[in-house]
Chains A and B, each alone.
Chain A
Amino acid sequence: MTLTRRTFVGAAGGTVMLAGLPKVRAADETPRRGGVLRAATSEEPFAPAFDVHKVDSLLTTRIGYLAYNGLVNVNERREIEPDLAESWEQPDALTYIFKLRKGVLFHDGTEFDADAVKFNLERIINPETASPKRADFAVIKTIDVVDKYTVKLHLDHPFAPLLGYMRRSYFGIMSPKAITEQMGQDPLKRSIGTGPFKFVSYTRGDKVILERFDKYFGTPAWLDGIEIRIMPEQSTQFAALQTGSLDYMIQTSPSFAEQMKYNPDLQVLSAPSTIWDFLAFNVMRAPFTDKRVRQAFSMALDREAMAKGVYRGYAKAAQGALSSGFSPYFRDNGDIPFQTYDPDRAKALLKEADFPFQSELRFDTFTERPWGQIGDAIADQISALGVKLRIEKPDFNTFAQYFYGTKEYWFGNSSMTGGGADPDELMYKQFVTGEVYNINNYTNPEVDKLLKDARTENDVEKRVDLYNKANRMLMEECCVAFLVYPDLVEGMRANVHGYRFRDESAGTFDECWLS
Chain B
Amino acid sequence: MKMHRYEKIWLLFGTGTLLVFLIIVGISAFYMGNQPPSCAVTLDPQKVDETPPFDQPGLKQIGEDEYQLTIVASAFNYDVGTEDKVVKIPKGSTVHFNVTTKDVVHGFQLVGTNVNMMLEPGYISTYTNTFKKPGKYTLLCNEYCGVGHHLMAATIEVTE
Q: Are A and B associated in one complex?
A: no
Interface positions of B (Cβ within 8 A of A): none
